[in-house]
Amino acid sequence: MHDRLLPLLAIGLICWISGCNKAAEDLTPPTPEVPEAGSAVTDEPEESGTPTPAPAGQTEETENSEENSETDSETPSESTPVTLETKSWDETLKLVDQEQGKVVVMDLWSTSCPPCLEELPNLIKLSKEFPDSVTCISVSLDYAGYEDEPVESYRDSAMTWLEKFNANIQNILCSTDFNTIFSEKIPHSSLPVVLVYNQQGQLAGQFPDPKDPSEFTYHGDVIPFVKNLIDQ
């Protein structure tokens, strides 16, 4: 009897030991896999100083040139040189006839007139605000008619202010002396003076009004008048 039980007990003991070892193996946590260097993936994009490559078919040089062209197109006037033509008063008025269909704003000024220099930049702004419907012309009346001070002797001083204001409009240095203009050409006796012509080339407004020569400004008087002509 004992001889039969011993083998059975031995077999049972072996089976019990094997089962324990397997259970232990099942309870042992798996060893995590370690990704290879450079293959890790994270939820947040990796920051890098390397620029993002340009889309297919487009080079970085193309992108830069497009950006530069957009910048240039926004400020074309800054690259246009300021010019100053010498014309008589009658020749200057002919410029109005050449602008049929547009409102013409003619600003009479001089370098010795502080109110003129204060308001002249607003003429430049007006030309940029309505480039398709308004033509702006500045007319320097610095020339006094003296023989020893010809009209061209006033060019440098006028250009200094025009360039400072980046006056990329039609600029005239009038060769008709200002005494003749005030006594024979316009019903005013001092500067500044702004003449506004309608789309048919007719004088539509004068600032200041000869009948009421009070002070005026572009923002308060000239610009509203011009906008009204454009809307007509």
Alpha carbon 187 to its chain centroid, in Å, reads 39
> pLDDT by residue (tens digit) across 135-172?
999 999 999 999 999 999 999 999 999 999 999 999 99
Residue indicated by tokens 């000239």: 222
Q: What residues have CB less than 8 Å from 190, skipping those under 6 apart?
A: 182
Residue 31: the pLDDT is 44
Q: How many CA atoms lie within 13 A of 166 on its CB side?
A: 9
Residue among 98, 100, 126 nearest 227 (CA): 126
Q: What is the pTM of this model?
A: 0.68
Residue 52: the pLDDT is 52
> pLDDT by residue (tens digit) across 77-87?
456 899 999 99
Q: What residues have CB less than 8 Å from 178, skipping those under 6 apart?
A: 110, 141, 142, 143, 144, 145
Amino acid letter, 33: E
Residue 176: the pLDDT is 98
Q: How far apart are CA 72 and CA 66, in angstroms?
A: 10
Residue 214: the pLDDT is 87
Q: How far apart are CA 170 and CA 191, in angstroms?
A: 19
Q: How many CA atoms lie within 13 A of 133 on its CB side?
A: 12
Number of residues that make up the chain: 232
Backbone angles phi, psi at 14, to 5 degrees: -65, -45
Residue 34: the pLDDT is 40
145 Rama sector, left if φ>0, alpha if ψ -120 to 50, beta otherwise: left
Query: Which domains are delineated in the chain?
Result: 83-231 (3.40.30.10)
Pairing mode, strands 203-207 and 134-140:
unpaired
Q: How far apart are CA 51 and CA 118, in angstroms?
A: 48
- What are the residue ranges in the chain where pLDDT is below 70? 1-79
Residue 80: the pLDDT is 86
With beta carbons less than 8 A apart as the criterion, state whether 111 and 199 touch: no
Cβ-based burial of 199 (10 A; exposed 0-12, middle 13-18, buried ≥19)? middle
Q: How far apart are CA 152 and CA 85, in angstroms?
A: 10
